[in-house]
Amino acid sequence: VYPPSRMQNIVLACLHKFVEPMLSWWPFNKLRKSALSSLMDHIHYEDENSNYVGLCPINKVLNMICCWIEDPNSYAFKRHLPRIHDFLWISEDGMKAKVYVGCQSWETSLIAQAFCSTKLAKEFAPVLRKAHGFLKAAQVTQNFPTYNSYYRERSKGAWTLSNGENGWPIADTTAEAIKALLLLSKYSPSLVGDPIEEQRLYDAVDCLLSYVNKDGTLSSAECKRTTPWVEILNPSESFRNIIVDYPYVECTSSLVQALILFRNSYPEYRCEEIEECIKKGTLFIEKQQRTDGSWVWYLGCVLHLCILLCHKRTSCCWKNIRE
């Protein structure tokens, strides 16, 4: 799907033919030993803080193999084994593996929003009560220790794509969960349960703002940390543009909508930063629109419409939408 470039082939061949043998000799073998020790330290950190689920089945399996090579009878390897089943499922044509451990938080947030937007909350109150309880329970309530040292982002207040167990926050899932919780807070607790604690909502907004790029945009799992030229190092033969977490229309739209809803309910909290993010995010979405009126991400047009409606741009808004 995405074959390695000629430069990559040359670099990898040189590493295999020359650098690899050299690292087996003294004193370079000491460098190798130090590098492998640092690598295992990162692997154990990831395993322990994700309950041995990992971010996805790729790094979960690779981490498990590394733990086995380090010690086949280790506690880490034994903890890895039962978590394999989190990714496996039986379909009509055999066993398959999921690309992620699940997307419960993201989908539950969207479903709750759909119920609220269609005025069916009272009719489906028992469903929304359970969804509300799940979202409150799935929030990550603490940061991982020394997360900056391991190139991780803040996690306190965030939501993962799944149920919070693997601890990997996802930016737009956090935004969608905030939107769902704010909408549910408008209904009586007797219908949908008690609203989330105010401080936990503040933590969620703090976490979401920490993911915002300098230009007011939002990427998927972390801030945009580097420049696109590092994509030449991409070792994957399946995916293009995966080294940098680029800003996306869909994620930025989720960000802007969440901040607008939050601002309406809590106008005093970090008001200047939120207003600046809304302005920059909206400008980014408008700039990304193609000449035929579409956006790259399939949800972009619908989500941008929601932003325009939230801003209450009446006649000008509808003129732009028709165009």
Catalytic residues: 172
Q: How far is CA 57 from CA 2, 53, 68, 96, 170, in A?
A: 20, 8, 16, 11, 17
With beta carbons less than 8 A apart as the criterion, state whether 187 and 121 touch.
Answer: yes
Percent helix, strand, coil in the chain, to 5, is 60, 5, 35
- Here the tokens at position 135 are 């979202």
Q: Which helix (H) or strand (E) holds 35?
A: helix 28-49
* Of 137, 253, 202, 160, the residue nearest 152 (C-alpha): 160
Q: Which residues contact 78 (CB under 8 A, 6 or more apart)?
A: none
- Here the tokens at position 147 are 């997360």
With vertex at residue 249, the alpha carbon angle to CA 261 and CA 103, rounded to the nearest 5 degrees, is: 75
With beta carbons less than 8 A apart as the criterion, state whether 110 and 182 touch.
Answer: no
Q: How far is CA 189 from CA 122, 126, 194, 221, in A?
A: 11, 12, 5, 32
